[in-house]
């Protein structure tokens, strides 16, 4: 991605909690996700399903919350001034945190210009684990949006997992897709779609998984809508679009299940297949129209 001298990162929208020494569970972290990307969190979810464990969720059935949450205490709401200022030359390889801050600012500026009543959602950067309005935020669940406090949670180490463990090629726009997907969930919250989804899932628990898939695919489409704007403004090159599509495919339920268990169980899907995730991201990317992101009105 290429940011210009006019692009400025708003550090006031980033709560930098990295290095706070969050609790680490033996053998890895376990926490809560609500409206997450579905990578590491999906693996943990599948492990609970296959092992017959109990999983309780907050907001999104794809999220995982241990029955006994561990709190790290209230957040300090700290802002790292180094994450603000000019975005010119910012890239993930040079300064990942600054780059993500630039992406967050750009994504939110786009939705504020397109969506009446859009209120910014803070981005919380953390290491290992931290507290959230949805329970314990953990690196093990991957990035997620919490509708309870209206914030996006991200451990930057997730991007290494996406590349090394799930085979995504990586790159600036691939990481930007992840951020834009989570803010797609915030857009759903602003529009009232998240509450409708939650109410429908509570009325008919048997449909919770299918509804979750539609919600996640819509967030992918919204990520593509922002991507369309970034491409039109010259921030994204054609070759980078393939990197984002590759990342979307890497987090498909079918691909993760096949790699983890050797078989695919569509009845347990919470985020959609690799092909569906790529298709809906491509729909938003090619159209630039959020009205084309009606994943609830069409066929599965």
Dump pLDDT digits (tens) for 196-251: 999 999 999 999 999 999 999 999 999 999 999 999 999 999 999 999 999 999 88
Written as one string, the DSSP assignment of 47-63 is HHHHHT---B-SSSTT-
Stated pTM of the model: 0.83
pLDDT of residue 239: 92
pLDDT of residue 21: 57
Q: Can you give the residue ranges of every domain in the chain? A: 8-292
Give the tens place of pLDDT for each residue, 17-28. 998 855 443 333
Tokens of 16: 């930098």
Among left, alpha and beta (phi > 0; psi -120 to 50; other), residue 47 is alpha
* Positions in the chain short of pLDDT 70: 21-35, 38-80, 298-300
pLDDT of residue 82: 86
Decide the pairing of beta strands 135-138 and 129-132: antiparallel
pLDDT of residue 77: 53
pLDDT of residue 40: 39
Decide the pairing of beta strands 135-138 and 144-146: unpaired
pLDDT of residue 78: 59
8 A C-beta contact, residue 154 and residue 258: no
Decide the pairing of beta strands 151-154 and 144-146: antiparallel
Decide the pairing of beta strands 129-132 and 85-86: unpaired
Tokens of 109: 């500026």
Residue listed under structure tokens 């169980």 = 265
pLDDT of residue 170: 80
Alpha-carbon distance of 295 to 281, in angstroms, equals 11
H-helix or E-strand spanning residue 197: helix 193-203
pLDDT of residue 38: 57
């Amino acid at each position: 991605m290429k940011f210009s001298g006019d692009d400025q990162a708003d550090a006031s929208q980033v709560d930098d909690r990295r290095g706070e020494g969050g609790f680490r569970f033996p053998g890895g972290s376990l926490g809560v996700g609500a409206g997450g990307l579905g990578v590491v969190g999906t693996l943990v979810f599948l492990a609970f399903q296959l092992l017959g464990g109990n999983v309780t969720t907050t907001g999104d059935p794809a999220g995982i919350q241990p029955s006994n949450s561990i709190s790290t205490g209230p957040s300090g709401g700290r802002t790292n001034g180094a994450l603000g200022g000019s975005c010119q030359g910012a890239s993930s390889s040079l300064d990942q945190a600054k780059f993500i801050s630039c992406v967050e600012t750009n994504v939110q500026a786009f939705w504020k210009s397109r969506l009446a009543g859009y209120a910014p959602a803070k981005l919380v950067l953390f290491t290992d684990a931290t507290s959230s309005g949805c329970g314990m935020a953990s690196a093990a669940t991957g990035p997620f949006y919490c509708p309870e406090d209206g914030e996006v949670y991200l451990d930057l180490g997730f991007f290494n997992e996406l590349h090394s463990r799930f085979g995504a090629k990586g790159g600036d726009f691939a990481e930007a897709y992840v951020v834009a997907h989570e803010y797609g969930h915030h857009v759903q919250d602003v529009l009232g779609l998240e509450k409708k989804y939650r109410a429908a899932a509570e009325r008919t628990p048997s449909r919770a998984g299918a509804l979750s898939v539609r919600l996640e695919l819509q967030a992918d489409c919204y990520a593509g809508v922002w991507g369309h704007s970034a491409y039109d403004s010259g921030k994204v090159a054609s070759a980078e679009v393939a990197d984002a599509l590759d990342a979307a495919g890497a987090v498909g339920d079918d691909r993760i299940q096949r790699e983890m268990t050797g078989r695919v169980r569509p009845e347990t899907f919470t985020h959609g297949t690799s092909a569906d995730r790529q298709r809906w991201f491509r729909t938003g990317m090619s159209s630039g129209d959020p009205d084309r992101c009606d994943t609830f009105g069409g066929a599965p």
